[in-house]
Chains A and B, each alone.
Chain A
Amino acid sequence: MHYDLIIIGLGLSGLMAAKKAVEMGKKTLIIGKGTGSLCLFSNTIDVLGNLPEGMKMANGLPLWIKDHPEHPYSRLDWEKIEQALSSFRSIFQSQYPFQLVDHENCLIPTGAGTYRPAYLIPSTMIAGTSLKHGKVLIVGFKGFKDFYADYTAGQLKCRGIVIPLSEFQGQEMIATAIARLMERESFREALGREVKKQMDGESRIGFPALLGIRDPLSVKTDLEETIGVEVFEIPILPPSIPGMRIFRHFKEWLIQRGVTFLLGHSVLKADLNGKRCESIEVSHPPLSQSYSADRFILATGRFIGGGLKADEEKIFEPLFNLPVLQPGSRDHWFANSFFNGHPIHQAGILTDSSFRPVDQKGEQLLDNVWIAGSILAGHDCIQEKSREGIEISTGYWAAKHALGT
């Protein structure tokens, strides 16, 4: 099978690249082992969470770019990033809209009772953004080990209650199972009634982010109707149900438009002919199969995604064996404190301004391969809180550059 474009990696950057490609009318294959960090950590769309509070993104991001010439954002500008973000938002508009509050980061409560900055916020979390006003009730589920209402409420200085779910007798309560239960109307009605009974004048109710995968808006609306006050979701330990919503909806949208999806398959190797990649070999146990394309996008993520690997001495990129920007010697990979930024996070693939891989001297290495997402060098998306912003914008623009040439 021959494609115009093959995208390796099923995270947010790969999905965005596929979206751009299909919009440009290209025959596209997207392939990956798993969904990487998207279904683990992505709850909101973070663009640059470490800006000073109250600073508009349109002002802060250009300043950041100026100070960080090696950052993936510096291959773009704010206008281009915004264009990619709108493209992302457009496909979620009806079922699971993402909202922007005052064009700046706003704070949402988390499962540890802390606040974290976020830029685009799913409508299921939006009522949590101004938590400091009014009385709030936090609801947890008895036997669910990844959220503790008392702990969270204690930190947020409000009240927490724990509700038993009789549906779970005899089986372990996991996030996806609760989220699926939420999709049952009778279940959420009963839950809503129970919460209402235990209310004490609160004007808002916070739940762990488990309000359904397919249709979270209906879950939220129904709960609000039964209880009579606003409801919001709180991000918790992985897996991320909000991330799964993004993946699921994105996948359906792409498949409807003719993108070929290969989920759960590893790419074994890339077949190169000089500076051109001709095809990739994909494992379909017990066989392997070759897929060829004119162009390729590598969006395999960092260590969790398998895009980067490290042995005792160095960091490497296993598929194309591209040079990886190394964070000094092994002794300098990590800072002394866990909470500091670790130099290893700056490691990654160097590219030119159109996301083509280059070596240290800026020499272009491959003619028809582009790089997108967190595998890129020069950022620390955990510390910066820029994960989704980098993935969405570089995925979109890598595809645009790849297909515009």
Chain B
Amino acid sequence: MQMKTEVLIVGGGATGVGIARDLSLRGIPSLLIEKGDFTSGASGRNHGLLHSGARYAVSDPEAATECISENRILKQIAPHCLEETGGLFVSLPEDGLEFRDLFLTSCEKVDIPATLLSRDEALNLEPELNPDFLSAVEVPDGSIDPFSLVVENARDAEKHGARFLLHTEVRSIQVDKGKILGVRAKDLLQGEEHIIDTRYLINATGAWANQFLNLAGLRLDMALSKGSMIITNQRITQRVINRCRRPSDGDILVPNGLVSILGTTSIHLDDVENFEVTRSEVSLLIKEISRMVPVIKGTRFIRTYAGIRPLVLPEEKEDDRAISRGFALIDHEKRDGLKNLITVTGGKLMTYRLMAEKTSDLLCQKMGIQASCSTHRTPLSGKGKPFELKERLREIRPALGKGAEIICDCEIVEREELEESIKKGDLKDLQDILHRTRLAKGTCQGGFCIYRLLGVLHDLKMSRGDPNSILKGFLEERWKGIRPILWGTTLKEEELIESIYKGIFNLEP
């Protein structure tokens, strides 16, 4: 298909979608294309932390200031996508109190509320804390649901004229006389080729930024760093628990709905596509975090996952084109003489809105348009929807009494609800469905419900492709996340899943 747009944004993570919304509120139409689903990259693979900024107060006051400011904004514009859990910074005997004192004064300097709690107060709030702790400081950390946040941004952007093309990958970029004319892209599910003409191109591909620029004959030096996380099968603490020391591996436990997430590691990577969580990372995370919260040692884990932090190397960051130290915003007109290309990468989920604002400002300047940002004061449309699972459960409970067909027993997803979301959304593959329902997120990690989902799709005559290949693909993906944590009860569960699919159903690779 031949398409035309004023602005083409590539990348459906928080940054790209945030830009689409920001521009749409300024009255500038855009088209966003993404090779997978929303949040397929780092936006969907982090620990879902609503930073207070306290983590950076000592090491990077500028980033801390950005975080606390965005923290306040997000609580106003997207309360339905986050939970204001609060957080603690805990010092253990081996940490001493020197860093804690520096931490308190640093927080004060950047205006992050940090309250030193008494021992009893802290244990009262979080009874699972290691009783040997020396000190606990309370800060306004929270948790955030990145997928909801991005989908809400997309929905609002669409309402204001933005368009989205998912599962579509840019294959080449047409450059002529220092100017980008457009791109050729391919629909990865249908196979259709698109030629898209655009006046401006924004590269918001995160960890793929360099690969993307290669298509235009440019390059960007980046360091890719893998961060691994583990999900528990129940919520361990009510608040975010941070280790009060200089940032290092295994220093945070983030509650998220009914589960908690252990994070994280930092390992240099060369390949942006193929990476897995290793056994040694799992051991390290458990060892470190159980120092703060001892019950972690005996806790049942349900999955591991990893994401890539796209870090731009210092020579790029210190360049005058970098507006903030937290992320890189590159005007390729100045850098490479390519008039209508902007790259934005680095940064973190927490500052996606700010990154979108700065990128849109730069674009407006290049376009010669006077239009200012309003995303910091315009709430997202779904505001008012319940976020907490408890409330969602309350919503579906009346249906349970009627003998509803429960497709996922772990997360209580009933068939009617599932069929509704399948029918209403423009869902193209299994990942799309899993992103938009709670299927495969519970204890059995889809061991039972994916088979059932394929059955329901068949009943609805909406099944495409060979269901058993889809099932096998899913089981292989699931295996990657589960293999590093197989012992205890999880191993028992896995014997069950293997006995079903390799045993009863005789599925073979």
* Chain A interfacial positions (CB closer than 8 Å to B): 37, 40-41, 43, 49, 110-117, 143, 145-148, 150-151, 154-155, 162, 168-173, 235-238, 302-304, 309-312, 330-331, 333-334, 337-340, 382-383, 385, 387
Contacts and interface: CB of A to CB of B under 8 A. Distances in A.
Contact of B506 (A110, A304, A330): A110
* B interface bracket (residues with beta carbon within 8 Å of A): 35 or more
B110 interface: no
A385 B459 CA distance: 31
B502 A117 contact: no
A398 B475 CA distance: 37
B403 A171 contact: yes
A311 B459 contact: no
A337 B495 contact: no
Interface stretch (B74-82, B352-360, B465-473): B465-473
A310 B454 CA distance: 33
Given A37-B499, A155-B467, A238-B496, A338 B488 contact: no
A115 B502 contact: no
Given A113-B468, A334-B486, A145 B475 contact: no
21 contacts: A110-B504, A110-B505, A112-B468, A116-B504, A117-B506, A148-B454, A150-B455, A151-B459, A154-B463, A155-B468, A171-B403, A172-B403, A172-B404, A237-B451, A238-B496, A310-B486, A312-B283, A331-B279, A338-B475, A339-B476, A340-B509
B503 A310 contact: no
Given A41-B500, A237-B504, A382-B502, A170 B402 contact: yes
B422 to A, nearest CB: 14
Nearest to A171: B403
A173 B406 CA distance: 10
B316 to A, nearest CB: 36
A211 to B, nearest CB: 17
Given A113-B468, A171-B403, A387 B283 contact: no
Given A40-B499, A154-B458, A302-B495, A112 B407 contact: no
Task: Determine which residue in B471, B488, B491 has the highest number of CB atoms from chain A within 10 A of its CB, and name it.
Answer: B491
B458 A334 contact: no
A18 B405 CA distance: 40
A340 B415 CA distance: 33
Contacts of A114: 468, 505-507
B447 to A, nearest CB: 10
B479 A338 contact: yes
Contacts of A312: 283, 286, 487
Contact of A337 (B454, B455, B476): B476
A319 B109 CA distance: 60
B448 interface: yes
Nearest to A150: B458
B487 A112 contact: no
A127 B244 CA distance: 68
Interface string B264-298: 00000000000000010001001000000000000
B479 A337 contact: yes
Contacts of A309: 488
Contacts of A147: 455
Interface string B434-464: 0000000000000010011011101100010
